[in-house]
């Protein structure tokens, strides 16, 4: 070991004492900064990942929709289009859909959900609908059943087997003409839960034929959802489709459809990073400050080391290495802290919530039942490297100050 590395180590961890106060504080500061930075970035990443997954799982990879406003975005006579899409390169599955707003009634309780008519056979091939089934099964939809989100089921007090009345906006239009259309009664055959309240919380599913019938739109659909073969970029397929589709048909990947939202998510993470970096910056500044004081306190020792054969550059290196050591130890402890916190994050969050009496807040405000977190080895190394670099930079100033010390003057200093 080079003498200055040894000396740097001993300055931080003097013989006989466990830890110097300066190193304890500095290491703790860096560790704290790294912990907060890493935990927050991992949780942000987790949210981002979950939201993206929730979008893909509930919307499909690519959607083909019509931009024609005149016929309310409806596409008619879709057999050719469906077979064209089926045979399109890199497309794994297709499913038609149509949707509308409806009023739902069960007992005396009502709700105004979005009703989506799905192709019962093909929909599960495009989105992971089966994954979300909580009670009942999807097949029931074909025999005039309806699938409710669990939130909605709770809200109107329905369960599998309950009968719900569904009202179409057409009823209002027709009643003006004097006709009376009675509401349709459907049996709840499935209850699903996506775990993400924006996607699917206020949605009900019925078979597409039922919906077409109910809304009197003939064979009209609102669009076709596509599943892309694994590993193929969805944007690429959407682009290729747009080359061959003619107006008013337009293909959009899920990234494109949610571009603003995804951008906001990324932006949020970046902003959080910038805010939290200040914790690390502050600890770097305090390290620089303490080290400058220690340079002044140790001027005589620096002179002495020159007198016993050390170079001033070596002394300067010694201070630089102190910064590096603080960075390495601090960031390692920080990562250990952070991974522990992340490991017990749900316990921590729930005990905290319990303490404040807001146990369901996670689901209410953050859309997910559990707090997500996501990190990899790369994240660990980049966070550590970042913290260590900051500490080294902090040590550069004291190191430069040492390099300018004159040995003879240092020996004279009080």
Partner 1 sequence: MSNFVAELRDVHKSFGNTVVFCDVNFAIAERDTVSICGDSGSGKTTLINVLGLLEPPTSGRVIWESCEVTYTKMSRVARLRSKIFGYIFQQCNLIPELNVVENLMLPKRIAGEAGEADVDFVRQLLRQTQLTKFENRAVSTLSGGERQKVAAIRAMVNRPRVIVADEPTGNLDEKSANLVMDAIVGLCNSCGSALLLITHNKRFAEKMQTSYVLTNMRLRRME
DSSP 236-289: HHHHHHHHH--TTEEEEEHHHHTHHHHHHHHHHHHHHHHHHHHHHHHHHHHHHH
Cβ proximity to partner 1: between 304 and 349 the closer is 304
Cβ proximity to partner 1: between 70 and 414 the closer is 414
Shortest Cβ distance from residue 412 to partner 1 (Å)? 7
How far apart are alpha carbons 75 and 63 in whole angstroms? 13
Shortest Cβ distance from residue 12 to partner 1 (Å)? 9
Cβ proximity to partner 1: between 280 and 312 the closer is 312
How far apart are alpha carbons 290 and 394 in whole angstroms? 10
Non-local (6+) Cβ contacts of 397 within 8 A are 288, 291, 292
Structure tokens that stand for 274 in this block: 């910038």
Shortest Cβ distance from residue 322 to partner 1 (Å)? 11
Shortest Cβ distance from residue 319 to partner 1 (Å)? 14
How far apart are alpha carbons 398 and 288 in whole angstroms? 7
Shortest Cβ distance from residue 369 to partner 1 (Å)? 53
Shortest Cβ distance from residue 299 to partner 1 (Å)? 11
Q: What is the DSSP letter of 221?
A: B
Residue for token pair 């009703």: 115
**Vertex 276, ends 273 and 279: CA angle to 5°?**
145
Q: How far, in Å, are 127, 132, 204, 338 from residue 136 at the CA level?
A: 18, 11, 14, 41
> How far apart are the two ends of the chain, measured CA to CA in Å?
31
Cβ proximity to partner 1: between 369 and 407 the closer is 407
Shortest Cβ distance from residue 20 to partner 1 (Å)? 8
Q: Residue numbers of the site for partner 1 (CB under 8 A)?
A: 2-3, 6, 10-11, 14-16, 20, 300-301, 303-314, 406-408, 411-412
Cβ proximity to partner 1: between 7 and 215 the closer is 7
- DSSP H or E segment with residue 399: helix 377-403
Shortest Cβ distance from residue 305 to partner 1 (Å)? 7
Rg of the chain over all Cα atoms, to the nearest angstrom:
32
Cβ proximity to partner 1: between 33 and 303 the closer is 303
Cβ proximity to partner 1: between 5 and 363 the closer is 5
Cβ proximity to partner 1: between 11 and 255 the closer is 11
Select from 37, 30, 36, 32 the least CA-distant residue to 288: 30
């Amino acid at each position: 070991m080079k003498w200055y590395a040894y000396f740097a180590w001993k300055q931080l961890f003097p013989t006989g004492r466990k830890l110097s106060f300066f190193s304890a504080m500095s290491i703790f500061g860096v560790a704290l900064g790294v912990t907060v930075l890493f935990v927050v970035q991992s949780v942000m990443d987790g949210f981002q990942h979950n939201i993206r997954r929730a979008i893909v799982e509930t919307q499909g990879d690519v959607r083909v929709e019509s931009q024609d406003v005149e016929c309310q975005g409806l596409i008619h006579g879709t057999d050719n289009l469906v077979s064209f899409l089926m045979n399109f390169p890199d497309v794994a599955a297709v499913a038609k859909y149509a949707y509308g707003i409806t009023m739902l009634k069960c007992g005396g309780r009502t709700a105004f959900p979005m009703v989506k008519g799905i192709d019962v056979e093909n929909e599960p091939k495009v989105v992971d609908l089966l994954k979300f089934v909580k009670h009942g099964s999807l097949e029931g939809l074909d025999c005039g059943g309806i699938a409710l989100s669990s939130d909605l089921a709770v809200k109107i007090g329905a369960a599998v087997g309950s009968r719900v009345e569904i009202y179409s906006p057409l009823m209002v239009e027709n009643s003006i003409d004097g006709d009376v259309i009675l509401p349709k009664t459907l049996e709840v055959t499935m209850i699903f839960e996506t775990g993400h309240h924006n996607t699917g919380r206020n949605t009900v599913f019925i078979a597409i034929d039922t919906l077409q019938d109910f809304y009197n739109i003939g064979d009209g659909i609102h669009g076709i959802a596509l599943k892309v073969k694994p590993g193929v970029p969805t944007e690429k397929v959407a682009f290729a489709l747009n080359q061959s589709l003619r107006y008013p048909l337009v293909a959009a990947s899920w990234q494109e459809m949610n571009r603003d939202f995804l951008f906001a998510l990324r932006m949020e993470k970046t902003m959080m990073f910038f805010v939290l970096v200040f914790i690390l910056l502050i600890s770097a500044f305090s390290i620089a400050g303490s080290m400058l004081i220690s340079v002044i306190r140790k001027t005589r020792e620096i002179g002495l080391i020159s007198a016993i054969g050390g170079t001033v550059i070596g002394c300067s290196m010694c201070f630089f290495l102190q910064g590096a050591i603080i960075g390495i130890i601090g960031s390692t402890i920080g990562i250990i802290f952070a991974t522990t916190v992340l490991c017990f994050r749900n316990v921590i969050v729930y005990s905290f919530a319990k303490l404040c009496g807001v146990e369901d807040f996670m689901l209410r405000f953050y859309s997910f039942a559990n707090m997500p977190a996501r990190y990899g080895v790369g994240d660990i190394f980049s966070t550590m490297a970042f913290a260590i670099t900051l500490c080294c930079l902090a040590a550069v100033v004291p190191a430069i100050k040492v390099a300018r010390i004159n040995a003879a003057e240092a020996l004279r200093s009080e």
